[in-house]
Amino acid sequence: MYKYFISYSVAYGYGFGFGHTETHTDFQIRGIDDIRRISRSIEKDFNYPQGSVVIINFKLFDE
C-alpha cells in the first residue's frame, strides 16, 4: 500500500480552484496513466465533473 499527498487544480462551471488530498493506492505512481487514474478517483470522491481535475504535484509519504 502506498500513501501519497496530492496537489491538484480543478475547473468546473465558470470557476476554478486548487486542492490537496491524501490518497492510498495499491500501486506506485510510475506514469501518466497512474496520474489519470488518481485524477478520476479525486473527481469521483469529491463529486467534481469528469475531466476537471489536473494533478499538479504528488509526494510519496509511505510504502
Sequence ranges of the domains in the chain: 2-62
Q: Which helix (H) or strand (E) holds 36?
A: helix 32-46
Q: Which CATH class is domain 2-62?
A: alpha beta
pLDDT of 49 strictly over 80 = yes
Yes or no: say if 23 and 6 are a contact pair by the CB < 8 Å rule: yes
Beta bridge partners of residue 53, listed in sequence order: 10
Is 0.85 surpassed by the pTM of this model? yes
Q: Tell me the average pLDDT of the chain.
A: 95
- Predicted confidence band of residue 21 (pLDDT cuts 50, 70, 90): very high
pLDDT of residue 50: 94
Rounded to whole angstroms, the Cα distance separating 54 from 58 reads 11
Yes or no: say if 14 and 40 are a contact pair by the CB < 8 Å rule: no
Q: Which whole number is the average pLDDT over 47-58?
A: 96
